[in-house]
Amino acid sequence: MKVLLVGGGGREHALARTLSRSPLLTRLWCAPGNPGIAEVATCVPIRAEDIGALVAFARDQAVDLVVCGPEAPLTLGLADRCAEAGLRCFGPSAAAARLEGSKSFTKEICDAAGVPTARWARFTDSAAARDHLRVQGAPIVVKADGLAAGKGVVVAQSVAEAEAAVAAMMDDRAHGEAGAAVVIEECLLGEEISFFALCDGTQALPLAAAQDHKRVGEGDTGPNTGGMGAYSPAPAFTEALRDEVMARMIRPTLAEMAKRGTPFRGVLFAGLMLTAEGPKLIEYNVRFGDPECQVLCLRLRGDLLAALLAACEGGLDAVALDWSPDPAVVVVMAARGYPGTPLRGTAIGGLDAAAAVPGATVFQASTVAGPDGTVLADGGRVLGIAATAGSLREARDAAYAAVDALRWPEGFCRRDIGWRALG
């Protein structure tokens, strides 16, 4: 099979590395890719949001399967355009991708399908939103309704903080049109879990769970980010909880989407809170998580490409995937200034030394090749330094040993990834 992978981050590096090992694969391209991805795929200079150019390339190269990594191309209709061109695409239609593209749409689906979630309200007027906050009190959650690259969520510990978030999103347009409307939610308490399932429109195949670390600072302090690290498996997420989530969330959501004429095909990422009342949905995403994808790919046994193809064509009931019992940890190395304005263009040394640490894998995310062949930082979350081992502590130690092998003084990371499980 000839495959075009869309995207150029750490998630796509993990997917490219995994897909490259499939016995079904004959050729792998990635658009736009990055220097790390170039080691296992042919990178083509097409932006992930350039839907027309992606479809034209896939058609010209007789691509058998387009695999979309990030959410933006899906919300822009990549899967729809591929279908019009007679191409298979792993990922939902634009209508189904609203599960990530609109927080309020997801809440409406949850209400219709009986999926347990936080109490919520949507506002398009900032004054009305502030009035609601004063009545509800804090802690409370303010979310930009649209896509905000993982940064449109504020878990406010005071009404003043929540009002400031509303002002930034709705009045100052800190996230552009994504914040023209906000969803204000009850603040759920408990452990947060990322759970993934492959979907073919009617059936769902449970994958695995991971625990992400959203806040920039150690001890879960500071502003939310796209994710500063993750580990899998998550000890708090038992098989019984997995079965409950499949029965009460994933399958009812698929049924409701199909009922509305927008069947969901692709990977459904359920952000969960394990509360005292049981698991509740925080939000859905319509793609693999980043950095969760990195640890899932390290643990995956079986042919991912065959599973993605089954999700496109139906027949997930015949797919069997297995997972290594060895834990995996990924530590995100970010550029100084993130999650604000990151410092770009700095040279990263020691990548080979980091990859040489036993059990370690280096995923490149926001990188570009310099004129002399050096790897340069080109965004906020720049590297994912991952490792597997026989225990979570050993995996974490290996990951941090690889971090320490790097020569990149302009980068930083959290030093407590996995703290909930390890203490």
Residue partners of 262: CB distance under 8 A and separation at least 6: 93, 95, 96, 98
Domain match, 351 and 416 both? yes
Q: Are residues 303 and 336 in the same domain?
A: no
pLDDT over threshold 80, residue 150? no
pTM: 0.94
For 397, list phi and psi in degrees, rounded to 5.
-60, -40
Same domain, 155 and 242: no
The CA distance from 147 to 370, in Å, is: 31
What CATH number corresponds to the domain at position 234? 3.30.470.20
Q: State how many domains the chain has.
A: 4
pLDDT over threshold 80, residue 423: no
Q: What is the pLDDT of residue 397?
A: 98
Long-range interactions of 216-224: CB distance < 8 A, separation 24+: 216/334, 216/338, 216/339, 216/414, 217/414, 218/414, 218/415, 218/416, 219/416, 219/419, 223/151, 223/339, 224/150, 224/151, 224/153, 224/154, 224/155, 224/339
Q: How confident is the model over 212-264, as pLDDT tens digits?
A: 999 999 999 998 888 999 999 999 999 999 999 999 999 999 999 999 999 99
Domain boundary residue among 186, 202, 233? 186
* 46 and 89 together in one domain: yes
Q: Which of 186, 212, 241 is the last residue of a domain?
A: 186
Q: How long is the chain? A: 423
Clarify whether residues 271 and 196 are in a common domain.
yes
Domain shared by 226 and 302, yes or no? yes
72 pLDDT tier (thresholds 50, 70, 90): very high
Listed residues 154, 171, 186: the one ending a domain: 186
Tens of pLDDT, residue by residue over 360-405, are: 999 999 999 998 889 999 999 999 999 999 999 999 999 999 999 9
On whether both 88 and 146 belong to a single domain, the answer is: no
Within-domain flag for 83: yes
Q: So what's the pLDDT on residue 148? A: 83
pLDDT of 315: 84
* 100 is a domain residue: no
In a domain, 106, yes or no: no
What mean pLDDT is predicted for residues 270-299?
Answer: 97
Do 127 and 151 fall into the same domain? Answer: yes
Instruction: Print burial letters for 174-183: b (CB count within 10 Å at least 16), e (below 16).
Output: bbeebbebbb
pLDDT-based confidence at 198, cuts 50/70/90?
very high
Domain check: are 261 and 298 in the same one?
A: yes
The CATH number assigned to the domain holding 339 equals 3.90.600.10
| pLDDT at residue 151 is higher than 80 | no
Q: What is the residue range of 151's domain?
A: 119-186
Would residue 105 count as lying in a domain?
Answer: no
pLDDT at 182: 96
Q: Is residue 382 part of a domain?
A: yes
Q: Note whether residue 374 is domain-resident.
A: yes
Q: Does one domain contain both 222 and 254?
A: yes
